[in-house]
Structure 1
Amino acid sequence: MWITLYFSLYLSFNCIYAASVPGSDTCQLQGRFRLNGVYQDGDVILGGLFQVHFFTVFPDLSFKTEPEPPYCEKFDMESFQQAHTMAFAINEINQNSNLLPNITLGYHLYDNCVRLGMAFRAAISLVSGTEKSFSNLNCTGPPPVVGIVGDPSSTPSIAISSVLGLFRVPIVSYYATCSCLSNRKKYPSFFRTIPSDAFQVRAMVQILRHFGWTWVGLIYSDDDYGIYAAQSFLQEMQLLGHCVAFSEILPHDNNHRDIQRIIGMIQSSTARVVVVFSTSSFLLPLMDEVVSQNMTGRQWIASEAWATSPVYHTPRLLPFLGGTLGIAVRRGEIQGLHDFLLRIRPSSEPRNNMLRIFWENMFSCSYETGGTVKNREQVKRMCTGLEDLSTTNTPYTDVSGLRAAYNVYKAVYALAHGLHDLMQCEKGRGPFSGNECADISNLKPWQLVHYLQKVNFTTGFGDHVSFDKNGDALAIYDVLNWQPSSDGSIRIYTVGVVNEGATTGMVLTLDEDAIYWNFETKTPPRSVCSESCPPGTRRATRKGLPVCCFDCLQCRDGEISNTTDAIECIMCPVEFWSNPDKNRCVPKEVEFLSYEDPLGISLTTASLLGTCICGLVMIVFALHRNTPIVRANNSELSFLLLVSLKLCFLCVLLFIGQPQLWTCQLRHAVFGISFVLCISSILVKTMVVIAVFKSSRPEGKGAMKWFGAVQQRCTVLVLTALQVVICAVWLSTASPTPHKNHQYTRSKIVYECAIGSVAGFSMLLGYIGLLAAISFLLAFLARNLPDNFNEAKFITFSMLIFCAVWIAFVPAYVSSPGKYAVAVEIFAILASSFGLLMAIFAPKCYIILLHPERNTKNAIMGRETQKK
């Protein structure tokens, strides 16, 4: 192919730079290409390149004579229709008095034979002209053509634009879609009325997104169209986070081993959707292998290059390609085109050899043999161009699906509107240097490019035509579906549209009820590497596999995902926690020791029970206040001790329930003051016992004067007042406050009372501990007093219980979480209170209630025993 291109370039420059004959003022063309063409003269000529034949045949080289020029085979009726659509558009413009008045357009249309070399030869012939000689050595005047419609293929368009772009010759392609041609620096004069592959790829990706196909296979042809389209497709899929299961290239030589390898890849892949960017010539061998391998169960996505190709619409391919979804360029309608095509006669235009070739292919006849038709009179009428084409039914006369032809029509009108705007320029107000206007009699190609860039018009079909800064047209595609027809072949139906708006972006509209699915379920297939992760989970990519292949891992506690296929889980706010499904943050459970809690009910019951027992003991002591056992134990201090114990039991209620500011401030203050009042009463009681014992001895006669009733009250008051001062300072400087603690457990909020000042709380407990230790020490020293009913023994035992409880309290309190820390503190209060109550008052109540005979002075002092 490239050897042919180099040969064409060499020959073209010989044609362009004509040799001047010595002594002559004329230039002569050194060589000519033999090209199939259609011509019409005019004031301004437009060129056109069309794929009228499928193949180019190069004669054998003998190396003895000049090589014969290549020739073309296999006539394409549809492409010939496109060529005559350009002729129709020019004739329509010539008849329009509002567009290019006083200017007649002509055309030179060439066949490129789907070959790069032939396309390049035709393009060079258009811009250099085909006249054998010319005398204007300054090369002034209008160029042979002012613009070219074509080429329809991307690879020839790249080559032609690379050369003709140097001279800024405007080229308007109607079917070249390679996104590489949007490069304005490399192709400054290239325009197109078909959207580029970049838009085509986006449209196809929109279909994949709509049906949730994230795991697809990719096949593309080994040419510029396929390679650039595949690159754009891979980029778009990557941006969306979708994956390509396999990517295979169709070889240009149709190697059977490569085709089998591609088929094996499709069959082994888990992807059920296959996207194909290819032209028909590349794809045919693959589809033949699909049939031979009986490969079904795949959803094919066709690019515009083969989505409408009739070569695949056969009953043989229906079981395999039925249900194919594809996109195609916008179908349009051109009024009057059908009648124009029917008027074509080779006899009326003997100069146009493509008409003769068309006629021979149309009626399978030749001028020499008379063809194969039995009726020789009919043969004569056909071959002489008298037969009416209205009786034929061929792709040439079918104008029901004008896609490429409609783009040709728009391309011609774009050039015409550019020329019209050029001619409307007012002298002195032009866009060029010195405010000059272009001269139609000496037109420079780059001047037309300037106006072509600004073209803006609407076709008779209602479509808007303009070009962006890269020369691309606005994207609009039809979405096609291949469905079975009544005769068992494939018929194409339009089931949607993809439209690129300036503000809305790419918008897909589908009629899903009209889509035929070639699967047993008659529903769209699933094509994913891994099923979507539901809310509450996150995606974890499998090592060594694409991002679409993943496992679904449940979010951790305290984290959620409320979307499908979440990449990461979201941490809940500090006061919220994840629900069991991990898809919603719910308020955390607030934990505190409540009255409804079983533990709270138990502790409340114990508190009230202790309070009641204290009340009963007070009643018993009040009723027997004149008995020796009550009087012997300092009844005033006993009643004060019972009152303080009752306060100790009742202060427990301040620890239960939702913490509030006043309960947080009162609970420790009441607790501290109550226990100091209790312990100071016990301490004074112990000191009184010791003083009484000493006063019974001669050396201690004056001991009791220091422990009278006033001194006892003052001592208790002073000791209690010190605790009141500690509490007042603590509450005024760093008062305990309600606090929501998130540290104990992340799933709950522990509502507790923050102590505020550790020092204040430590002094409160320390002062209680100091009084308890002194009381225990004094009681221990007085435990062996000779009285039969020794109060010091019971105080010693009660202080032993009290100290043991509070020593065990400290580590238990520190290690207990949440509400259990409060429960530990309450338990310590109750245990120590019950210990004091039982150790000190239970023996007395036992004697008072059960053994009143022992409630005598002699029994208490042990004299009855001595008499016996």
Structure 2
Amino acid sequence: MRSGRSRRWLHSLAAALLLWGVGTAAAIVDELDNRSAVYPGDLLLGGMFPLRGRGEFGNCSEFNVHGLFALEALHFSLDKVNAKLKSQCGFSLGSVSLDTCASPTVGLYQALQFVMPSLIGRSPSNQAGSMSGHDVIGVVGPMHSDTTEQVANMLGMFKIPQISFMATSPTLSNPTRYPYFLRTTPSDDNQGDSLVQILLHMKWSYVIAAYEDTVYGLRGLQAFEKSLQQVNKGAEICIGHRWKIDMDSPEAVDLEYYRKQLRQLSEEKSRARVMLLFMSDSIAHHIFAAVREERLEKHYVWVGTDGWGSRYVEPEIREAVDGAVVSVPIVRKLNGFDDYLLTRTVENNERNPWFALVTNRSLACAETPDGRSHNRRGERTCEHMDNETMQEHVRHCEFTGFMHFVYEAVQAYATALEEMHRKLCDKRMGVCPALYNELQKPGRRMLYEHLREIHFQDAENKSVHFHNGRDGLPKYSVLTYKQNAQGDYVWQPIATLYFNESSPDLLEEADLTSVEWLKNYPISECGSKCPGWSIRRYQKDKCCWDCENCTFPSVKLNETHCGVCLMDMDRQIFTKPNQWRNACETFDATIVGFTNPIVATVVTAAGAGIIATIITLVLFITYSSTPIIKASGRELSLVLLVGIALCYSTVFMVAVKPTKYTCVLVRFLYSLSYTVCYAAIFVKTNRIVRIFHMTDKGPKQRKTRYISPVSQLLVTALIIGFQIMLCVVWQVLKPAAADFDAVFDDENESVTVYRFCEALEDSDWLIALSLPSLLLMLSGLYAFKARKCPGKFNETKYIIISTYTACIVFVAFIPLFFTVAKMPFRIVVLCVALCINATVTLLCMFAPKLYVVLIRPHKNTRDNVMGRKHTASSNVHLTDNNCIQPSTTDSYSKDVGAPAGGRSSTFSAGSLKASDSSGRSSREYGRTSVDGLGRTSTDLRAMNNRRRWTDAGGRTDLVEQLVVQEIATQTSGDYDQPADSDDEDSY
């Protein structure tokens, strides 16, 4: 009991507040018409329609034919559904319809008529024009979004279900703010998507957006911009200018204002040929009239929505609207409605009091002084609707195509009531007490829940239900305003857009390609199409652009972005631009090997070098016992030949396909080939210098040590072993592997990926050349010191040529290697350096000896190797370089008598030139004699000179050895047999 009194107290308080608010609103309503259109029935629905337009100050003004059509659609729908309700449930639906004047203020005032019974108690009266309120179970309407929002606030407060048939504002989808609101039309969120699809299909990227500052205009533009971000990502379509029309400003009805704006836009934004209109038909009428005055009919294409699209167009502006494209909630004729509308007369339509007023021309028509029927805002103030005018509106206006939404709203109530009757009335006909009590409860929650869940077939057997339990299905018709075959301007359907119900951003179906006349529309973009692989570079307003080529090796990803093709060295995926530069294509890495002409030439030369090395080796083995081969040091010569062969072989390894194992071989062979060569040359020159080296002063030296072949090979092996150890450490710290290098040729616009060993990419390989470089410098130094040693021992000039050439190659090779960026040239430089070093060493160290062996065999004797001749004497000088230097300044020949042993021989010797400790110069001896021991005068002179050399230099071992050897050899008369001395054999 107390609970009921509290509820009534709260309702009374709410009523008082509402009456105060609505009373304040009603104060500005000018002569509000209290008429209502009543359709009798057992249960009543409230109807709210804009039967008149909105006046200057929110009051009612001229007659609105679209509101009249909607009211007649309500009555037509009730006729349809009642036939089934009466037969199956035993009751009928009726309606009480009020005029909203397309005004939120008037709409709020009229909604009070439907909530009054909830505040002051139920009234049994349902008489037309009753101001005590109308007891309704639900409401159909209003038509405009701004009016609907105000009405939905009030009806939601009193829990009265409401279904709008034309309000499309996205705000109305909020269940928290409008808990009892439903609609049979889709939200403008989906309409924004449909507009974007139209612009994308027509390739219109530069547009102007004009909108009125009402809920409909603002929300429509916002929905469109949101769709640009979601569907188009804001990249293809750009709004070059936003034109806001202030509805409360006098300019809103000033034709000159619209002419000025259009003239300015056509000049400043001349490339924008498409204008979006988010506004009502009255404002759109002003724009089209200004277009006609400015002769801009062919300049703009109009794109819009149901606010003005599909509406009746006045004859004087039809050419300006020609070609307009609009997206509206799906247009579908309500079967029989057009014929029903054309048969309405005053006599058979008493239930619609406004119909009689229109046809009897009873509305005031205030003509302006210039003869136009417009008020100060430019809106029409009178409308005469006779039967002929009605037919013209039906024929030229597609608005009747929206009347199926009214039918669906009525059918939703009828289906929900039928289901409630089945559950509550237990097959009893009529409005049973249970059903009546449920409908009289504050809130009518059961009716609202049934409305949300209904599924039914409309008059054309189309499935109908509420999307997301609140909105109409996201289906749209695309209309264009063109002349038909009879020459009449009509709204023609050209496409239908269906959006996915679960994901409204997804367009399920669109047929925009079958319309031939679409090809004649102008281009609306701020920039020409970028050809080839050029992209757009946008200017400040982000709508206009210049074309800029994608630089190689980029490809054109889309109209605004370039991209670089994938180069994944780890996964060995290589791509490059195709010939059109719009996509990437895969390709394989290139191996700088035998197919490269320069490398192939160097490899051929290396092959010839290996053959020459093998031939040299065979000849050395064949003639190994000859004096000149023995004097060259056979063992070290063989080691040198192995090093030369390694140099040539490394060229082949560099040219084969790089792998992990071949790169290891290249690293070791490259360093070892140089090390083996220069280690052999270093040991050879070191040995010669140590054998023949003498100083002018100092103590007497012992016999030279470590000059045997075994000693020399051991020293060479130690040097090579040290290099191998360096390579092993290098391999452990940084394992050798194959790598890839991409080379871009911007001039020829080509890209090549080379496969190579990574050691060839950086400076690490200098580690491998550190020891060979040191050996090379030491070899050159020793060769210079030994440049005047005797006879065929003197290889220094060839060694100097070889080492100096190698130094030049190294000096040129290192900077050239680092300055060459392209890997093929690096590999070529490496191969050429190897071949040059190997070839120079082979020619300098072996060619002179092979020449003597093969071409001048008579010079391949011990005497020639030792620097002696039997026909001429040679003077032996001890020079400043402390080496024995032969000369041919004097000669003589004398028979020498046999000593006690009875032997005799011919002895030829040069006069020995020396100086003793007192500085006496040598003398020339022109004759011989024999002493008591059988020694000739020549022997005595040689021994005497030996003593003088000893006094002068303090060393006798080497000279004594040489002199004794020479005397023994000459007295024996054997010139061709090699000496038994280990030292001599190794010379």
Q: Distance in 2 between matches of 1:759 and 1:531?
A: 52
Other structure's SS at 1:88 match: helix
Which residue identity is paired with 2:789? L
Equivalent residue number for residue 844 of structure 2: 839
Instruction: Tell me the amino acid that sits aligned with residue 70 of structure 2.
Output: Q
Q: Secondary structure at the match of 1:308?
A: coil
1:649-728 superposed matches below 5 A: 649-670=648-669, 672-683=671-682, 685-686=684-685, 689=688, 703=703, 707=707, 711-716=708-713, 719-720=716-717, 722-724=719-721, 726-727=723-724
Q: Does the CA contact (< 8 Å) of 2:306 and 2:329 recur in 1?
A: yes
> 2:613 & 2:464 partners in 1: Cα distance?
101
* Partner Cα separation in structure 1 for residue 620 and residue 395 of structure 2: 126
The match for 1:232 is 223
Q: Distance in 2 between matches of 1:706 and 1:788?
A: 21
Q: 2:832 — aligned with what?
A: 827
Give 1:836's aligned amino acid.
T
Post-superposition offset of 1:290: 0.7
1:772, distance to aligned residue in structure 2 (A): 4.2
Distance (whole Å) between structure 2 residues aligned to residue 763 and residue 567 of structure 1? 43
Letter matched to residue 715 of structure 1: Q
- After TM superposition, list the pairs within 5 Å mapping 1:356-367 onto structure 2: 356-361=356-361
1:304 corresponds to 2:306:
yes
1:188 aligns with 2:179: yes
Cα deviation code 1:651-702 (max 9, x no counterpart): 433332322445434445445555555445445544665577589x9x9999
| Cα deviation code 1:280-312 (max 9, x no counterpart) | 211112111111211113221131122212224
Letter in 2 for 1:50: F
User: Structure 1 residues 777, 440: closer, same or farther in 2, change over 3 A?
Assistant: closer
Selected match of 1:175 from 156, 163, 166: 166
Report what 1:781 is aligned to. 785
* Distance change (3 Å), C-alpha of 1:422 and 1:725: same
TM-fit CA distance, 1:473:
1.6
Query: Aligned pair count?
Result: 791
Q: Which runs of 5+ in 1 are unaligned?
A: 1-5, 17-30, 59-68, 365-386, 429-435
How far did 1:244 drift?
Answer: 0.9
Name which of 241, 263, 288 aligns with 1:246. Answer: 241
1:105 aligns with 93
Q: Pairwise mapping of residues 138-177 of structure 1 onto structure 2 (< 5 A)?
A: 144-177=135-168
Q: Distance in 1 between matches of 2:416 and 2:581?
A: 63
Q: Which residue of the partner structure matches residue 327 of structure 1? A: 327
Change beyond 3 A, Cα 1:310–1:625: same
Counterpart of 2:277 in structure 1: which amino acid? V
The sequence identity of aligned pairs, in percent, is 22
Whole-angstrom distance in 1 between the partners of 2:310 and 2:761: 84
State the SS of the aligned residue for 1:402: helix
- 1:793 CA displacement: 3.9
Q: Which residue of 1 aligns with 2:76?
A: 88
For residue 235 of structure 1, report the CA deviation from its aligned partner.
Answer: 2.3
Question: In the aligned structure 2, how far is the partner of 1:34 from the partner of 1:624?
Answer: 136
* Worse-superposed segment, 748-757 or 226-235: 748-757
CA RMSD of aligned residues (A): 4.8
The alignment status of 1:573 with 2:568, answered yes or no, reads: yes
8 A contact 1:673–1:720 mirrored in 2: no
**TM (normalized to structure 1)?**
0.77
8 Å Cα contact 2:679-2:720 kept in structure 1: no
- Whether the 8 Å CA contact 1:246–1:265 is kept in 2: the answer is no
Q: Is the 8 A contact 2:49 2:141 kept in 1?
A: yes
Q: Label 1:176 to 1:48 Cα distance change in 2 as closer, same or farther (>3 A).
A: same
Cα distance change of structure 1 residues 216 and 764 upon mapping to structure 2, 3 Å threshold = closer
* Structure 2 CA distance for partners of 1:764 and 1:209, relative to 1, 3 Å: closer
Say if 1:723 and 1:422 are closer, same or farther in 2 by CA, change over 3 A: same
Deviates most, 592-601 or 336-345: 336-345
Query: How many angstroms does 1:197 deviate by?
Result: 2.3
SS at 2:400 equivalent: coil
Q: Tell me if the contact between 2:554 and 2:577 (Cα under 8 Å) persists in the aligned partners.
A: no
CA distance in 2, matches of 1:122, 1:701: 136
- How far apart are the structure 1 equivalents of 2:36 and 2:306? 27
* CA–CA distance in structure 2, aligned partners of residues 441 and 772 of structure 1: 112
> Aligned partners of 2:683, 2:726: CA distance in 1, in Å?
26
Q: Is the 8 A contact 2:256 2:290 kept in 1?
A: no
Q: What SS class does the counterpart of residue 512 from structure 1 fall into?
A: coil
Q: Residues 395-444 of structure 1, C-alpha deviation per residue, up to 9 Å, x if partnerless?
A: 4699997323222222222223333344444499xxxxxxx976167354
Deviation at 1:600, TM superposition (A): 1.1
- Equivalent residues of 2:160, 2:444 under 8 A apart: yes
Seen in structure 2, the aligned counterparts of structure 1 residues 669 and 173 have a Cα distance that, compared at 3 Å, is closer
Query: What is the aligned partner in structure 2 of residue 794 from structure 1?
Result: 798
Counterpart CA distance in 1 for 2:122 and 2:683 is: 140
Partner of 1:418 in structure 2? 416
Q: Deviations over 1:749-791 (max 9, x none)?
A: 4433345999997776454445445544443332223548733
Unaligned runs of 5+ in 2: 1-15, 365-385, 427-433, 746-750, 873-887, 892-987
Does residue 203 of structure 2 align to residue 205 of structure 1?
A: no
Following the alignment from structure 2 to structure 1, what is the Cα–Cα distance between the partners of residues 59 and 684? 133
Counterpart-to-counterpart distance in 1, 2:600 and 2:462: 82
Structure 1 pair 418/113, CA: closer, same or farther in 2 (3 Å)? same
Q: Answer yes or no: is 1:286 the counterpart of 2:287.
A: yes
Alignment of 1:541-620 (within 5 A): 541-542=538-539, 544-546=540-542, 548-555=543-550, 559-566=554-561, 572-574=567-569, 575=572, 576-579=574-577, 582-587=581-586, 590=589, 592-614=591-613
Q: 1:797 & 1:619 partners in 2: Cα distance? A: 25
Pair 1:441–1:504, CA change in 2 (3 A): closer
1:811/1:224 Cα in 2 relative to 1: closer, same or farther (>3 Å)?
closer
Preserved CA contact (<8 Å) 1:142 1:440: no
Residue 457 (structure 1) aligns with:
456
- Please give the secondary structure, in 2, of the residue aligned with 1:516: helix
Instruction: Report deviation, 1:497.
Output: 0.9
Distance 2:705 2:641 in 1: 26
Name whichever of 393-402 and 419-428 sits farther off.
393-402
Per-residue displacement from partner, 1:778-816 (whole Å, max 9, x unpaired)?
A: 433322235487334433443343455446555554555
Aligned equivalents of 2:284, 2:638: Cα separation in 1: 109
More displaced stretch, 263-272 vs 570-579 = 570-579
Check the 8 A contact 2:114/2:133 in 1, yes or no. no
CA distance in 2, matches of 1:701, 1:281: 127
Please say if residues 259 and 291 of structure 2, whose CA atoms lie closer than 8 Å, have aligned partners that are also in contact: no
Pick which of 819-828 and 230-239 moved more: 819-828
Distance 1:391 1:567, change over 3 A: closer
**Which of these two proteins has the greater Rg computed from alpha carbons?**
2
> Quick one: distance in 1 between partners of 2:290 and 2:103?
26
Question: 5 Å matches for 1:481-496?
Answer: 481-496=480-495
Residues 501 and 361 (structure 1), Cα distance of their counterparts in 2 relative to 1, 3 Å cut: farther
Q: 1:715/1:226 Cα in 2 relative to 1: closer, same or farther (>3 Å)?
A: same
Provide Cα deviations, 1:607-634, integer angstroms capped at 9, x if missing partner.
2343455456567778877876556545
Q: Which piece of structure 1 moves more, 258-267 or 621-630?
A: 621-630
| 1:168 match: secondary structure | coil
Question: Quick one: which amino acid aligns to residue 541 of structure 2?
Answer: L
Please give the residue correspondences for 1:53-64 in structure 2 after superposition, counting only pairs within 5 Å: 53-54=52-53
